[in-house]
A and B are shown apart, each in its own frame.
Chain A
Amino acid sequence: MDWLRAWMMPPQGSEFAKEIDFIYMALFWLSVVLFFMIAIPSVYFAWRYRYKPGRVTPHQTHNTTLEVLWSVLPLILCIGIFFWGLNGWMKYAVAPGEAMEISVTAKQWLWQFEYPDGSRTINDIHVPVNKPVKFTMTSEDVLHDFFVPDMRVKHDIIPGRYTQVWFTPNVLGEHNFTCAEYCGKDHSGMKGKLTVDNDADFAKWMETGGTEWEDYFNGKDPKKTPADWGKITYERVGCNSCHTVDGSKSKGPSWKGVFGSMVELNNGTSVLADENYIRESMMNPQAKVVKGFDPIMPTFQGLLKPNQANGLVAYIESLK
């Protein structure tokens, strides 16, 4: 009967999905049996005891044994089903400690995801196969809900609070997720793609730090340039805590007008602030320290994805 389950339920993306499907199908067959236990008599009796003039019906007012039986037996059945459901739910309710945590910010009408290493992506996430992943979620505006049918998980996302779902995907490939709490105009457009990768592919994906940056480098949107991505990165990775972009003084040199200028270093020499200089400053900041500033900049080696570094260069170049 697996074809019936496969027709009624989405693909099974995890062990948990298999367990839920098992309960679902059990309840399904139970319901079919109980339904026919009600439907068949109702139709059969209408035929078997059809009207005959003059027939007298028996005066059956009650039957205590029968009534107790059909109150107690369903009650026992219900208690059993309750505990079965509770059991499955408890597994879903608490994520295992080693789960990779992805934080989710839902807003009308898109999904923002952030990985532990700071990579961000929108509407499109990758997770490694056979490893538990936990989503910690909040909303920027109204109620939303993160629903991954193939994993059989769902939870509301509430502004001002954090809620959680988790699962361990065990099937490679693409799955859909969708918003399941009405949130306004484009509620039914608020969906995304979850891709389950093997370890190698997942590592490769993490290298690039998500897909959010792609729009800024593919030229499709004139409003999204590498320099814009650089500005976003400037704020996100904290460059702005030491470098201004308007020329004002801070812990580090301002970026305004730097690109292409001659910079005086603290050892008395001057260098051209070209692209190589910028890149070296990010990865090996102690190599060339600007005069009048302390050598306090940390290295961003390993902390910046290539697209982020490229973006920063483009941004700095744009700050004439």
Chain B
Amino acid sequence: MEPAVTSGARIGDRPRPKKNYLNETKGFKSWALTVDHKRIGIMYLVGTLFAFLLGGIFALLVRLTLLTPAHKLFGLQVTAETYNRFFTLHGAIMVFLFIIPSIPGSLTNFVLPLMLGAKDVAFPRLNLASLYLWIVGAIMAITSMIVGAVDTGWTFYTPYSTTTSGTVTLMTAAVFVLGFSSIFTGLNFIATVHKLRAPGMGWFDMPLFVWGMYSTAVIQVLATPVLGITLVLLMLERVFQIGIFDSRIGGDPVLFQHFFWFYSHPAVYIMILPGMAIISELIPTFSRKTIFGYRAIAYASVSLALVSFIVWGHHMFVAGQSQLATVVFSALTFLVAIPSGVKVFNWLTTMYQGNISLETPMLYAISFLMLFAIGGLTGIFLGTLSTDVHLTDTYFVVAHFHYVMMGSTVTAFIGGLHYWWPKMTGRMPSEKWGRIAAVLWFIGFNATFLPQFILGSRGMPRRYYNYLDQFQPLHAFSTVGSWIIGLSLFMTAAYLLASLRKPADAPDNPWGGTTMEWQTSSPPITHNFEDQPVLEHEPYDYRPKAVAH
């Protein structure tokens, strides 16, 4: 099953352009001051992958510490305070420096204008500003780690976060800055989708990747400012004791949780929608079949974005909110399961009677279907009031969110990275190593996180440094799983980087995709298309006369 064209082929008889966006201009300034969305996307990719590495190291440290009750790391004793910092930094880096910014900033930045047949995003300089804000936020966050570190958990619950020592203020300021990076990116994408589509491309002719990213952008613009003000209030409470979240001075700790989750629940949809958007591209391409239920998937994306704003209280069923609120939030939470289910069924039906090849991106896409299924189904346990009382604040929740954030979003991210790698770099990555890494990823991920469901249902709370002896075998299993994940990611990094040593002669359309980015060279020229492309066919049209190569 080797349908991917591996080198040379160009659309029509156009010669390969000598200059592309990578080599047309050279030097530090040409990158630092660029307004080319493709270069900005590459820089975001490098930055967010570095954050992924850093967050991943903390994850490995967490799991290593939990390997045995002795809490020794390479012979050194890990104290409770150190462990508390490990899990806080793992969470904060992963959420704010990696998952939220990565797909929008890197893959979407690169691919969205190309998919729309546009020269760039609506506000190219704002795009660069977003990148700079990410960099500043990252520097602030890393500084806060070096100077004293934070041990509040990534959720910063008060009054612990307003009274503990540590560099909480600096870290929350960093997140505030990162929030604006996210807002500007979202703003940019909304304007781009509204205004810069190619002639002939109506809303329902756009790729579903665009629908997914548009929905993500809507959440970024609407939800992130609320995080901003929440963090400002947290900082003011910490520095000036304003008295809004600390009951000793007249405040309400539960109010913080309402403010925080009002952003953070939609935020998890900022994380999953881009992953789903990528899957909507991978499955039709590698099934060589039109996507089933285009409109349903488009509408599901938008409705997920909107419904995500009314379910935040499901993080607070035992937090002390009113009983009425608890009941209402549980009911609404079940609503949000339906659009996700519809998408999964539509993707599966797309594969039915397809013509499927299992290149690396498709292996990640199929992994996504299974891992997202587990993530989504375990959400039902947590949305159900009576079981949530037992399961909340335990490892069950940890397993659930890793299945959706990592098993789904990161899986899709790696699949998308592999898929668009030829377009971005002009090189085809190694299929052999890609497949081995994909299989290891699936095995390692399940080995790490499936046991954690059991740990949780058996009563192991989260953020725990100590645990009862009965939990040790499952913890050990989970830690070994984390090493397999590490191995897989290391392999992925290695083979992707190794591909850069090959000459940049990838085909325009190695996978046979139908979306517009495959109509231009790999890598693209700086202004994307030689002539303004015009859309001439329905989206994902694999009928023989319509296929463009």
Q: Check whether chain A touches chain B (CB < 8 angstroms).
A: yes
Tell me, yes or no, whether A155 is within 8 Å of chain B by CB: yes
Return the chain A residue nearest B345 by Cβ.
A70
Tell me, yes or no, whether B500 is within 8 Å of chain A by CB: no
> Do A142 and B293 contact each other (CB < 8 Å), given the known contacts A27-B387, A149-B458, A156-B320?
no
Which of A59-67, A222-230, A292-300 makes up part of the contact surface?
A59-67
Bound-state Cα–Cα, A207 to B294, Å: 72
A61 to B292, Cβ gap below 8 A? Answer: yes
Tell me, yes or no, whether B182 is within 8 Å of chain A by CB: no
Q: List 6 A-B contacts (CB under 8 A).
A: A20-B390, A60-B290, A78-B335, A86-B386, A88-B387, A154-B390
B386 to A23, Cβ gap below 8 A? Answer: yes
A82 to B330, Cβ gap below 8 A? Answer: yes
Q: Which residues of B contact A185 (CB under 8 A)?
A: 80-81, 84, 151
Which of A34-42, A212-220, A248-256, A280-288 makes up part of the contact surface?
A34-42
Which of B164, B352, B393 is close to A181, meaning CB atoms less than 8 Å apart? B393
> Do A180 and B461 contact each other (CB < 8 Å), given the known contacts A82-B330, A154-B389?
yes
Other A-B pairs beyond A60-B353, A187-B464, 18, CB < 8 Å: A10-B458, A20-B386, A39-B370, A46-B351, A57-B287, A61-B290, A67-B296, A74-B338, A86-B385, A89-B326, A91-B386, A154-B390, A155-B389, A158-B247, A176-B459, A179-B461, A180-B394, A185-B151
- Interface size, chain B (Cβ < 8 Å): 94
Tell me, yes or no, whether A317 is within 8 Å of chain B by CB: no
Bound-state Cα–Cα, A55 to B289, Å: 11
A143 to B387, Cβ gap below 8 A? Answer: no
Chain B contacts with A in 54-83, Cβ cutoff 8 A = 80-81
Tell me, yes or no, whether B318 is within 8 Å of chain A by CB: yes
Tell me, yes or no, whether B32 is within 8 Å of chain A by CB: no
Which of B385, B462, B542 is close to A59, meaning CB atoms less than 8 Å apart? B542
Could you say which of B296, B390, B462, B468 has the most chain A C-beta atoms within 10 Å of its C-beta? B390
Tell me, yes or no, whether A261 is within 8 Å of chain B by CB: no
- Encode contact with A along B388-422: 1 for CB under 8 Å, 0 otherwise: 11101110000000000000000000000000000
B355 to A51, Cβ gap below 8 A? Answer: yes
A23 to B387, Cβ gap below 8 A? Answer: yes
- Encode contact with A along B155-188: 1 for CB under 8 Å, 0 otherwise: 0011110011000000000000000000000000
A53 to B3, Cβ gap below 8 A? Answer: yes
B318 to A149, Cβ gap below 8 A? Answer: no
Bound-state Cα–Cα, A149 to B393, Å: 12
Q: Which residues of B contact A141 (CB under 8 A)?
A: 159
Bound-state Cα–Cα, A161 to B447, Å: 41
Which of A19, A24, A31, A41 is close to B457, meaning CB atoms less than 8 Å apart? A24
Q: Which residues of B contact A142 (CB under 8 A)?
A: 159-160, 163
Q: Which residues of B contact A82 (CB under 8 A)?
A: 330-331, 334, 383-384
- Encode contact with B along A152-171: 1 for CB under 8 Å, 0 otherwise: 11111011110100000000
Q: Which residues of B contact A182 (CB under 8 A)?
A: 84, 152-153, 157, 160, 462-463
B164 to A184, Cβ gap below 8 A? Answer: yes
Tell me, yes or no, whether A50 is within 8 Å of chain B by CB: yes
- Encode contact with A along B328-358: 1 for CB under 8 Å, 0 otherwise: 0011001101100110111011011111111
Tell me, yes or no, whether B433 is within 8 Å of chain A by CB: no
Q: Which residues of A contact B392 (CB under 8 A)?
A: 154, 180
A145 to B351, Cβ gap below 8 A? Answer: no
Bound-state Cα–Cα, A71 to B297, Å: 12
Q: Which bucket holds chain A's interface residue count?
A: 35 or more
Which of B247, B295, B323, B353 is close to A159, meaning CB atoms less than 8 Å apart? B247
Tell me, yes or no, whether A79 is within 8 Å of chain B by CB: yes
Tell me, yes or no, whether B381 is within 8 Å of chain A by CB: yes
Q: Which residues of A contact B353 (CB under 8 A)?
A: 49, 57-58, 60
B458 to A188, Cβ gap below 8 A? Answer: no
Q: Which residues of B contact A66 (CB under 8 A)?
A: 349
What are the nearest 6 A-B pairs in CB distance?
A160-B247, A88-B386, A149-B459, A85-B384, A89-B385, A57-B289
Bound-state Cα–Cα, A37 to B527, Å: 46
- Encode contact with B along A185-219: 1 for CB under 8 Å, 0 otherwise: 11111000000000000000000000000000000
Which of B160, B330, B464 is close to A85, meaning CB atoms less than 8 Å apart? B330
Q: Which residues of A contact B467 (CB under 8 A)?
A: 188
> Do A84 and B323 contact each other (CB < 8 Å), given the known contacts A45-B352, A186-B80?
no
B334 to A78, Cβ gap below 8 A? Answer: yes
Tell me, yes or no, whether A92 is within 8 Å of chain B by CB: yes
Tell me, yes or no, whether A3 is within 8 Å of chain B by CB: no
Return the chain B residue nearest A58 by Cβ.
B353
Tell me, yes or no, whether B544 is within 8 Å of chain A by CB: yes
Which of B81, B287, B296, B387 is close to A49, meaning CB atoms less than 8 Å apart? B287
CB distance from B303 to the nearest CB of A (A): 11
The chain A residues found within 8 Å of chain B, CB to CB, are 7-10, 19-20, 23-24, 27, 30-31, 34-35, 38-39, 41-43, 45-46, 49-53, 55-63, 66-67, 70-71, 74-75, 78-79, 81-82, 84-89, 91-93, 141-143, 145, 147, 149-150, 152-156, 158-161, 163, 176, 178-189
Return the chain B residue nearest A186 by Cβ.
B80
Chain B contacts with A in 258-283, Cβ cutoff 8 A = none
Return the chain B residue nearest A177 by Cβ.
B459
Q: Which residues of B contact A9 (CB under 8 A)?
A: 457-458
Return the chain A residue nearest B374 by Cβ.
A35
Tell me, yes or no, whether B248 is within 8 Å of chain A by CB: yes
CB distance from A35 to the nearest CB of B (A): 5
B320 to A158, Cβ gap below 8 A? Answer: yes
Which of B287, B289, B366, B383 is close to A43, meaning CB atoms less than 8 Å apart? B366
Q: Which residues of B contact A145 (CB under 8 A)?
A: 318, 393
A8 to B454, Cβ gap below 8 A? Answer: yes
Bound-state Cα–Cα, A71 to B293, Å: 12
Q: Which residues of A contact B356 (CB under 8 A)?
A: 45-46, 49-51
A71 to B342, Cβ gap below 8 A? Answer: yes
Bound-state Cα–Cα, A62 to B160, Å: 52
A41 to B338, Cβ gap below 8 A? Answer: no
B288 to A57, Cβ gap below 8 A? Answer: yes
Return the chain B residue nearest A146 by Cβ.
B318
Bound-state Cα–Cα, A82 to B392, Å: 16
Chain B contacts with A in 135-165, Cβ cutoff 8 A = 151-153, 157-160, 163-164
Return the chain A residue nearest B284 by Cβ.
A57
Bound-state Cα–Cα, A301 to B81, Å: 48
B159 to A188, Cβ gap below 8 A? Answer: no
Tell me, yes or no, whether B472 is within 8 Å of chain A by CB: no
CB distance from A90 to the nearest CB of B (A): 8
B84 to A51, Cβ gap below 8 A? Answer: no
Q: Which residues of A contact B331 (CB under 8 A)?
A: 82
A49 to B542, Cβ gap below 8 A? Answer: no
> Do A152 and B390 contact each other (CB < 8 Å), given the known contacts A62-B292, A188-B463?
yes
Q: Which residues of B contact A153 (CB under 8 A)?
A: 389-390
B387 to A85, Cβ gap below 8 A? Answer: yes
Q: Which residues of A contact B342 (CB under 8 A)?
A: 67, 70-71
B466 to A188, Cβ gap below 8 A? Answer: yes
> Do A189 and B1 contact each other (CB < 8 Å), given the known contacts A57-B289, A147-B461?
no
Bound-state Cα–Cα, A149 to B252, Å: 28
Bound-state Cα–Cα, A34 to B163, Å: 46
Return the chain B residue nearest A162 by Cβ.
B320
